[in-house]
Amino acid sequence: MANIQDYIQQIVGASASKVNIPANVKDQVLGGLSSSILGSLTQTAAKSGGLEKVKDLLTGKANAASSPITALAENLFTTNVIKKLNLGNIAPALTALIPVIMSKLSGFIKDQDGDGDVDINDVLITLKGGSGSGLLGTATSILGGLLGRK
């Protein structure tokens, strides 16, 4: 099973190849796309009911284009990358990649525990990635920070 962070980076790289990104900011843009998508998943997973929303998106039950997780990723990317790098001229093309990338994440979560369905257990197993890191580790760190724990 691929690590979700690596998987996102692969999809971002392939999808962004269709946009003419200036060479001097390409790495920042690609990293920003990946970080924004992972950040939106992480922030959503850390909220009450968020794991269910992440599960719905990553199993294809929720439409990526209209998902609040996708909207959050677009907002994060616009705020943290497009505005800071002054990419107004290619901003629409870059932002349009986010729903495409999110839709390609559909099907990432499969039945991991062998019970015949995809449930929250499978989300946790997938996001943990077996190493205790990845999205679950990040979400746990955020929750710990919010609750004053380490």
**Can you tell me the distance from the alpha carbon of 33 to that of 21, in angstroms, rounded to the nearest whole number?**
12
pLDDT in tens, 78-117: 999 999 999 988 999 999 999 999 998 877 766 666 676 7
Phi, psi (rounded to 5 degrees) for 106? -60, 130
Q: What is the dihedral of CA 2, 105, 138, 46, to 10 degrees?
A: -140
pLDDT in tens, 41-64: 889 988 999 988 988 888 888 999
Check pLDDT > 50 for residue 140: no
pLDDT of residue 33: 95
Helix (H, G, I), strand (E, B) or coil at 96: helix
